Chains A and B, each alone.
Chain A
């Protein structure tokens, strides 16, 4: 429902008078919240520059949950550790896992890091590190790249939030930054934004809001504290979302059926389509999660389902971004908390393997048809150019034009940087 469109002109005007300034709420909110930290930031280093810096305006962060098998997807082997399917050749000269038929055709658009390594083989801990660059602690939350970007660059859209997460909960994506930096969760891409519709008629809703404004005025006047003001701003911002003419960004119903088919009729496929729409609407940072990768048993069948879903959706996303002219300004990354072992276990599956795994990057100034680093012959260990989750995240930060060396103090007065002092992988940039 687009509330504004359903109003008669007079009511609409009355309504807008109260909520017209809601767009301003975004800037105000950011100003207040951001300044808390800006004051404590260490001396900014000279603005970095170099190949690819700031090329990306948006990021689509695809996180595979459960530990994506690198050998069957991005780093195929033809020896005894090969797995169920034979590797596929590509025009770019490198091979991909046998399930990646569509991605093979898009090999000229992507770079792969085949020398990723992580310290943990535990799912939650690994997912936390690859998303934030920091180890999970009981004492502090670390921000994702979207929150870092909002800290350094401000909001990306007038009425909509700057970060969205699809098929997953925000899980403290804002880290130690204000909650307003937390990604807006879309748990079901087909359903869109949760609770965006009022169960009252537009007419009643407006009357409710007017009465709310009247009877709440006394309290708001008496308690002019940050917290109370923040709530009022959240209400205004929420109204601006509910009435945003861009709310349709969350509605996949507007997309043609053929395109929906192309992405694959599953939560991840539709999530990628939603991410593409949101980028088009000017939302900076979108996370899309996909489960099903913890393939301890019968990896062949599991790949037929989940590997194929990834292959179809990712290829469609790259094509679609390109077609909409957004690939150059949008960095697409694919990652997982760890890889899976070279050895097929007794149950026909592979077990957790953080020692080496792969990630993928495309668009946003990244080279096409490029492989960075390598694993050994079995896919067991890093052979060349070891890369950490911190390096990976710093690379994303670099592409977005974030000052990756700048130290920011948390409210608890501890120092943090984008990607925890990782080094951007400069070879990846064209």
Chain B
């Protein structure tokens, strides 16, 4: 109910407009005497950009203004930093800024100053493309004099390969995407997600596909979401509810939630939507005859070792989702509440948040047909009208670039009004619906706000004081950002080129067709072929880009195509490090890898990426392979700096590569002095790499 009270308030703010302290409105007049009250945002190519109170940016030819205003446009200092290319986008971004400013004002806080171009370019590359800019990319932005350069770089990055890679990393952590689960490789699931991201499929459609996917994992990667937790549907549901809806129900799996409204019964009623769905070996579905045939074929194989491998192969092929006719969801044996008995059947029923029962999402959900249960649930869950779905992803996306959610933790949105800025949270949810769950469009909007383009907050965030977003917070790079940035230092922007595509190969190699017409003999032949293929995946062989690369390069050479380094085919390897984007490496990487030492999630727990330091991590930064590879002569940063003539220019080149800025006078002096005092360029790369400024995102 509080929700309703806040929304009109939000609209009131939009109508009257909030004048930020540093913005000056003046009345502009055109040659026909029409008037416009607006702030001056800049002039470029004979066009004047004027922003009115509701945030909309008008673009007027200079000669259409009155003589006096023409003079003003030529002499006034522009407000803000640059202009968004699209006036509607400018308006939408301004609305967000107004809500943030209102929150700050109420608490008598001020927003941070606007970030410098240097701070902005490094931040926006890391936030959108998941890596630092190269020296050239930084310089290109810094030397660009156009008013819309920030908007332009945002657009460019949103359409880069890096964007896809970076979003994949975020979702892979959220969805606990692992190469192997239950002895089966989930490559097709990863490939599916990557292609969804590359096609910019709206979030609601993506999630709907995951909830309702049918068939074999090898053929339909979208089944990976439910099959990841095959045989553990209660755990899976608990994560579904907290991940996508911010419903904090993990306690209710075992007992009534001690703090919130959730009861154990409610949890089981939700679980009943998956009560007819078979994920474990698809034993009961129409495929059971096939499975029996498979087992027979396996038994007919010669030796025991082969039988064991074949069983694993059968398991791979049996990973599938099937909806049966019986909903077998029951209350647990230790159910202890008086409204039902342990072992009672449970009928599916949707959860509601106190005042939201009347929402359209709840209409038309029938729970009669057992085969439709999942799609009914998915429709309700992903509906634009679901009270939490849009809000949850909006809050998550906000956190990705501001460092902290409007409501924390992001997996608990049971009470949005307990957030630090409820009108802002509700508005972002509405914006997510307005952009039709287009995540790229939503990120474009957030990045174009002044709030995002402010300096990072430098003071300590107090535990009990809500953070109201005077700007983004200072964050440590994620493991993937750090790794991808290291690779960028060595390889440059080409690091984005390599793509692994393991799902297709895996599926082709291991797929067995066992329809009605197949005889035990043909199945046996298929099994034997697949077993040979499987051995390739068993070790590191095919899953590892290093080996793939070798093979592909050999094939290419055989075809007479020469041996120049083609980074779309093979990532460079230095000192055992495969310099590809984290998204194209094993998921998760092995324990000793840079990524894991730096906090990459082990993909057992949702959203468990760690941004904390540790001793082994620092030992690795100081003495491990990465610092060595970055400092070697064949590393791009070293090569680039080496072409500079003076020590001063070399230091400046390295600073631009590592920090996207030029050194300050004292930094330059100290570095040059150190170079004259026995340190080499390699030592200098070590120093910059180990500086706090490198691993933190301003």
Contact = CB atoms under 8 A, between A and B. Distances in A.
Given A137-B605, A196-B623, A225 B458 contact: yes
A197 B623 CA distance: 6
B628 A199 contact: yes
Contacts of A166: none
B597 to A, nearest CB: 9
Nearest to A414: B251
B116 interface: no
A141 B605 contact: yes
A11 interface: no
A80 to B, nearest CB: 24
A257 interface: no
A161 B242 CA distance: 36
A184 B671 CA distance: 34
B137 to A, nearest CB: 22
Which residue of A193, A208, A224, A242 has the most chain B CB atoms within 10 A of its CB atom? A208
Nearest to A39: B463
Contact of A241 (B238, B606, B615, B691): B615
B674 A211 contact: yes
Contact of A141 (B608, B670, B693): B608
A226 B622 CA distance: 21
Contacts of A225: 458-461, 474
Interface stretch (A174-182, A311-319, A373-381): A174-182
Interface string B606-621: 1010111111111110
Contacts of B670: 211, 214-215
Interface stretch (B435-443, B494-502, B515-523, B682-690): B682-690
A139 B606 contact: yes
Given A199-B623, A211-B671, A215-B687, A194 B616 contact: yes
A212 B610 contact: no
A195 B683 contact: no
Interface residues of B, number: 60
B271 to A, nearest CB: 15
B614 A208 contact: no
Which residue of B411, B623, B679 has the most chain A CB atoms within 10 A of its CB atom? B623
A187 interface: yes
A139 B250 CA distance: 8
B692 A220 contact: yes
B605 A227 contact: no
B683 A208 contact: yes
Interface string A187-226: 1000001111111100110011011101110111011111
B611 A227 contact: yes
B304 interface: yes
Contacts of A178: 612
A103 B602 CA distance: 37
B622 A195 contact: yes
Contact of B691 (A200, A204, A216): A216
A223 B238 CA distance: 38
A230 B613 contact: yes
A393 to B, nearest CB: 20
Contacts of B677: 207
B474 A238 contact: no
A195 B616 contact: yes
A140 interface: yes
A237 B604 contact: no
Contact of A138 (B606, B618, B663): B606
Nearest to A187: B592
B68 interface: no
Interface in B159-203: 176
B616 A212 contact: no
Interface string B468-480: 0000001010000
Contacts of A215: 663, 667, 670-671, 687-688, 691
A184 B679 contact: no
Interface of B: 176, 235, 238-239, 242, 250-251, 259, 304, 409, 411, 456, 458-461, 474, 476, 591-592, 602, 604-606, 608, 610-620, 622-624, 628, 663-664, 667, 670-671, 674, 677-679, 683-684, 686-688, 690-693, 695-696
A195 B618 CA distance: 9
A138 B592 CA distance: 23
Contacts of A136: 604
A184 B461 CA distance: 29
Contacts of A227: 474, 476, 611, 696
A238 B692 contact: no
A225 to B, nearest CB: 5
Interface residues of A, number: 58
Contacts of B687: 208, 211-212, 215
Given A138-B605, A194-B616, A224-B459, A207 B623 contact: no
A5 interface: no
A196 B696 contact: no
Contacts of B667: 214-215, 218
Given A215-B667, A227-B476, A228-B474, 12 more contacts: A137-B235, A139-B239, A172-B602, A180-B614, A203-B678, A211-B684, A225-B459, A228-B692, A228-B696, A231-B476, A232-B692, A238-B618
24 contacts: A139-B250, A161-B615, A179-B612, A179-B613, A182-B614, A184-B616, A194-B616, A195-B623, A198-B622, A199-B623, A204-B679, A212-B690, A215-B691, A216-B691, A219-B696, A223-B456, A223-B458, A223-B692, A223-B696, A225-B461, A228-B696, A234-B614, A235-B618, A238-B615
Given A169-B591, A179-B612, A204 B678 contact: yes
**What are the 4 tightest A-B residue pairs by CB atom distance, in nearest-first order?**
A179-B612, A195-B619, A234-B613, A238-B618
Contacts of A241: 615, 619
Given A204-B678, A216-B693, A218-B667, A138 B235 contact: yes
B616 A185 contact: yes
A343 B525 CA distance: 34
Contacts of B611: 227
A232 B605 CA distance: 28
Contacts of A161: 615
A192 to B, nearest CB: 12
B474 A223 contact: yes
A49 interface: no
A45 interface: no
A231 B692 contact: yes
Contacts of A230: 612-613
Contacts of A169: 591
A163 to B, nearest CB: 11
B608 A237 contact: no
